[in-house]
Structure 1
Amino acid sequence: ALHELPHLSGDDLLGDLGDALAVSELAGPLGASTGTTLAAFAPLLLAKGGTADFTRGVPVMIMLTLSVSYLLAISVVPLLAARFLKRRRNAEADRLIGLARFLGSLVYRHPRRLIAAGALLVVGSLALTPFMAQQFFPNADRPRVIVELYMPEGTDQARTAEAAASLEQAILTQADALEIHRFVGFTGPAFYYNLQRAPQAPNRSRLVITTPTLEDTTGMIRWIRAYVNEQMPELNVNVGILGQGPPRIAPVEVRVYHADEKVRSQAVEQVFSALRRVEGTVDVHHDLDIGVPSIAINVDDATAARFGLTRADVAQSLYGQSFGVVAERYRQEKDPIPLVLRSQEGTSLPLERLLSVNIYNKQGQAVPLSAVASVDTTWEPAVRYLRNGTRLNTVTANLLTGYSFSQVLEGLNHALEDNPLPDGTRIEMGGDAEGSGDANGALLTAAPIGVLLLLFFLLLQFNSFRRVGIILLTVPLATVGIFPGLVLSGSPFGFQSLLGVIALVGIVVNNAIVLLDVMDRELENGENIHEAMRKAVVQRTRPILLTTATTVAGLLPLAFSSSTLWPPMAWAIISGLLASTLLTLLVIPAVCTQLIKSGVAEPENAPA
């Protein structure tokens, strides 16, 4: 708007007529540009799921800001410009004007060469995708190391506490271990949103280690893994740092389903062995256990009935002797406190005494357990895992630095193709693969709404499918910068980078919109397409470059921030915007000279 005002006004102070003309001519293309950007963010706003909830604030903030910015651009900005802005003196000496004329001459003389060069650059950028790291969500920037410690199922909590304390003392010998918090039997307080929560279990513990810097966590993780492997092989540990995004058990999670317990265990061991051989995996574990002895007390209903007993009476007596029964509840404020009545030994009650208890009927008569029930001993898994009512077991793995979950799963698939799982076995991917799939699926579900809105705003402005198609060519042209930018900056491609690409779609089409708007005005004035496009490039190069420069300057603090969450998004936008801006000023005008010969005809029913 500020660039257009001096072009339409008088010699000194800007007049009201110049303001009105500038606003009337720019309200349409600026509105279409704002609308297309809002349309690009609509899928993020409408998507559902954990990842969408995590990033919901981004589209809300941007869409509100853009809407208010457009209203200010067509109302307050012209008023301020009319009051304070004066015509620029000696504009011919401006270097940007000289650059604009040079670009316009290139478009006028070599349109086909520019189109060919743009196509080659797009192909070349796509060839860089194999060199681009992939990561669904980056790790957090807090210098914390999380050690998840597991003992075999059935391990007493005192033994778990002893092992955790021993590992803690060993870690404290390292200079980088500034502080350690130890939690036994539960996962501790939720001090970070992404931290995985787990139910209380006597066989698990968690250590939270604070290091001086984030870089020091890498060496600490390696030392802990090496120490446990050499000095405490009985421990099952999972060592890592805090992450970003929705919580997940591990980056790589493979769920194995089969109705038969033995076949499922065989399949789990096969997946476990295959994952350990895949390059890039570490801390590979499964949730199979060695099992525990189980005692089945089979009540003879007929005999029990003769004594006036039921199975419920037997179960209640056994439970009362071991775990105890709730005799009363004491209420203090809102939370009731149960008063439990049990034997002195509780769960430590010897098996001989448990099986020799008496069962009391309603008449108060004592009936020995052996008189109404038989005892069978079996060996069975200590824990049975269910997901949606179906039994399963899980294999998990962490990733070494520089490896992505997609690389590991690709290696696992190759291994399973050479050595297939038993018949009837079904596997399901969790972890980052599931999160990425859910996030992409949510975006794809809402994407048609964004595409329809984008087409609506473009057709409303240009009333031409050909012009809309040319404008949308800016999207593949942006890939010329996105992929090389991520590779050169070392940023991984993941959900945050995808956010940047989505934002870029709404941004890069704006430059093409204002170019084609000027082109149509020149065509209406009687210019041929080559001259109209040359003038459009000359008039719009300066505002397009200044807009790009301000956008890049605003994103640079995010790109160079110490946070691990925002740089991938910022670099995707910066590199894509820089490349797209240059190609929009060259390739898009060149395409227009080949496909457009005249202005858009007014509809027959257009108002007078």
Structure 2
Amino acid sequence: SGQERRAACLETAQTLAIPLLTSSLTTILAFTLMLLLSGQTGEYAYSLPVVVTILLLSSWFLSMYITPFMCFWLMKVPPRAEAGSKPDDEPAYSGGIYAAYRVLLKGILKVRYVVLLATLALLAGGGYAGSKLVREMFGHSDRNQFLVYVDLPAGYNIEATEKVVQRLTSWLSDKKANPEITGTIAYVGTGGPRFVLVLAPFDPDPHRAFIIVNTESADQVIEVAERVREYIAGALPEAEGRVKRMWTTGPEPGFLEIRLIGPDAEYLYEKGQQLTDRLRAMRGAIDIRNNWENKVLTAPVLIDQARARRAGISSQEVANSLQAHIDGIQATEYREGDQAIPVMLQSVEEERAAGSDFYNIRVHSAAQGTDVALMQIANIHGEFAFSRVARRNQERALTVEFKHEVLKAPELLEAATPLVEELGLGEDYRWEVGGEIEKQAETMPKLFKWLPLCGFLIVVLLIWQFNSFRRPLIIVFTLPLAFVGAFVGLLGFRAPFDFFAILGLLSLAGIIINNGIVLIDKIDSERNAGRDAYTAVVEATVSRFRPICMTTITTVLGMMPLIISRDPVFYSLALIIATGLAFGTVLTLGVVPVLYSILFRVKEPLAA
């Protein structure tokens, strides 16, 4: 425009300082929702809003001070008058692309109400697309590890479990069968350490085991995990194996629980078995497990106190004898240096393995110094009983957990609901949903608890920036329209709407608000410079065409590696930013001028 270089640098910084600061603060307020989130998810996401705040504020400072300084020293552009370029009456933006966009913009402004109706129709379509999205809490991790849970029927001892695990780990370590596996570590009878935050080790149980498998790369995990699942089903018929990929945080993706709650344990167990059988018949259902497991053979020992007293035997002595026979009891300690080695007293294995000898266990009477057979002082009978009875909030609750090879948790719940309803639970019984859906229902209210306050502060900032209510209304109206493009992108690529997709929406909102603030501020600057309202709208929008398009193109290109590789963590986030920003750019360059012209009654000047 013929302005001197130093004056141009100073004026640009002064003109954009407040608008860019306002847009940075609105984005920070949007990410404040993550900062105030409590619980495990809040711990996981806490660093993100902190980093975003630091980056945005430092970026604003650098752009307002360092960028003009660098432009002054490095951009040796002579003023228009010295360069002998375009005359003053020729538009500054007269290139082919600018001219085409100027013609298109003028045409849009002529049919502004038609454009507004079309925009409202798009908004309704976006709402429909959003309702069809598959929701997920968190996706799988990109770690080169997966987990194997080995469950034998309840009642198996730890030696039998160890033999099964040894067979499995030997096959996993076979380089011919599994060349991708670099190492395994197994925990028999225990869930192992909690080496990542999301992992909740199960309680110690002799018939359960846990294995961590490492592969050469994360890309091999899916293929190797499926191979392990097939091997367990074919080569280990006595065991049930659940093979799981690692996940980022929260509950396992796609993991669903159905809890049957009621007073009678036998009734719950029967209904739980029916539900388990129906789920096993569902095509694609995997990792099905009943937390009450199977019934086990027990032998209750009912001591006849009268006979025991005549023999001089107490209940404690009976308990000690039983423990010594079955599990062993510590008799003393053997010390070797600073090491204390327990010395256990236990029956020989042959006697413990023979169930008939259980009746002939000798109980020692310390008072009389004699041994008495257990059957002489107690009544013993065998019966099948529950291996465990789980409770939730002091109520008996049987939980059936499962996943699906393809379906996400909401889709799986929709498919499983008829199976649960067919159980015909009694009047005092009910069922609940757990797993990923329950966790999502707990987290989302916490996340959006502060949304009204943050939204109010954003609107206050915009009103303060423009000293107007109509201008912020234009920007606020474009946000849901930008989300339409994001929802359509997720739906088109069949990506889930997960926690990172919410982060993508927040980032998208920040970019759209930034574009809207800068564009409206430019329109007002043109009007303050003396141009009529119509020309100001057209020329200001044309002048922001290249910066807004460059922002969109560079951002979309930055997201492309995540989209092409279908990144397991940030795929949905990248899709939302790329598709939402592409759609939002069209809105900013088309709909914002239309809304401005409608709200401020801008009319096209009459032809001379």
Give the TM-score taking structure 1 as reference length.
Answer: 0.83
Give 1:283-302 correspondences, 5 Å limit. Answer: 283-298=287-302
Given the superposition, is the C-alpha separation of residues 168 and 577 from structure 1 closer, same or farther in structure 2, using an over 3 Å criterion? same
Contact 1:14-1:86 within 8 A present in 2 as well: no
Residue 54 of structure 2: aligned partner: 64
User: How far did residue 62 of structure 1 move?
Assistant: 1.1
Distance 2:578 2:301 in 1: 69
Is 1:14 matched with 2:6?
yes
Distance 2:336 2:129 in 1: 66
Distance 1:260 1:518 in 2: 72
Distance 1:359 1:444 in 2: 68
User: How far did residue 95 of structure 1 move?
Assistant: 5.1
The C-alpha deviation readout for 1:105-143, integer Å capped at 9, x for no partner, is 244323223223333333444454577554432223345
User: How far did residue 153 of structure 1 move?
Assistant: 0.8
Give 1:107-506 correspondences, 5 Å limit. Answer: 107-129=108-130, 132-168=133-169, 172=174, 174=177, 178-179=181-182, 181=184, 183=186, 184-188=188-192, 194-209=198-213, 217-248=221-252, 251-298=255-302, 315=319, 318-319=322-323, 322-325=327-330, 339=342, 341-343=344-346, 345=348, 348=352, 352=358, 355-360=361-366, 375=380, 377-401=382-406, 403-506=407-510
User: How far did residue 546 of structure 1 move?
Assistant: 2.6
Segment of structure 1 superposing worse, 88-97 or 540-549: 88-97
User: How far did residue 593 of structure 1 move?
Assistant: 1.4
Amino acid in the other structure paired with 2:75: L
User: How far did residue 221 of structure 1 move?
Assistant: 4.5
Is 1:519 matched with 2:523?
yes
Amino acid in the other structure paired with 2:465: Q
User: How far did residue 394 of structure 1 move?
Assistant: 1.8
User: How far did residue 39 of structure 1 move?
Assistant: 1.0
Identify which of 45, 52, 64 aligns with 1:55. 45
Segment of structure 1 superposing worse, 233-242 or 218-227: 218-227
Gaps of 5+ in 1: 1-6, 599-608
Larger RCO, structure (CA 8 Å, separation 6 or more): 1
Given the superposition, is the C-alpha separation of residues 327 and 27 from structure 1 closer, same or farther in structure 2, using an over 3 Å criterion? farther
Given the superposition, is the C-alpha separation of residues 67 and 330 from structure 1 closer, same or farther in structure 2, using an over 3 Å criterion? farther
Given the superposition, is the C-alpha separation of residues 76 and 338 from structure 1 closer, same or farther in structure 2, using an over 3 Å criterion? farther
Q: Percent identity?
A: 26
Given the superposition, is the C-alpha separation of residues 565 and 249 from structure 1 closer, same or farther in structure 2, using an over 3 Å criterion? closer
The C-alpha deviation readout for 1:89-117, integer Å capped at 9, x for no partner, is 66645556435534542443232232233
What is the CA RMSD across the aligned residues, in angstroms? 3.8
Amino acid in the other structure paired with 1:397: F
Residue 88 of structure 2: aligned partner: none
- Paired residue secondary structure (2:142): coil
User: How far did residue 470 of structure 1 move?
Assistant: 1.8
Is 1:546 matched with 2:538?
no
User: How far did residue 217 of structure 1 move?
Assistant: 4.7
Aligned residues: 583
Contact 1:187-1:206 within 8 A present in 2 as well: yes
The C-alpha deviation readout for 1:437-460, integer Å capped at 9, x for no partner, is 233222122323322322221222
Distance 2:337 2:499 in 1: 47
User: How far did residue 472 of structure 1 move?
Assistant: 0.9
Given the superposition, is the C-alpha separation of residues 219 and 109 from structure 1 closer, same or farther in structure 2, using an over 3 Å criterion? same
Distance 1:486 1:332 in 2: 66
Amino acid in the other structure paired with 1:29: P
Contact 2:259-2:399 within 8 A present in 1 as well: yes
User: How far did residue 147 of structure 1 move?
Assistant: 2.9
Distance 1:323 1:214 in 2: 45
Distance 1:96 1:337 in 2: 86
Distance 1:397 1:249 in 2: 11
Give the TM-score taking structure 2 as reference length.
Answer: 0.83
Identify which of 569, 574, 579 aligns with 2:573. 569
Gaps of 5+ in 2: 86-91, 603-608
Distance 2:516 2:539 in 1: 14
Contact 1:129-1:483 within 8 A present in 2 as well: yes
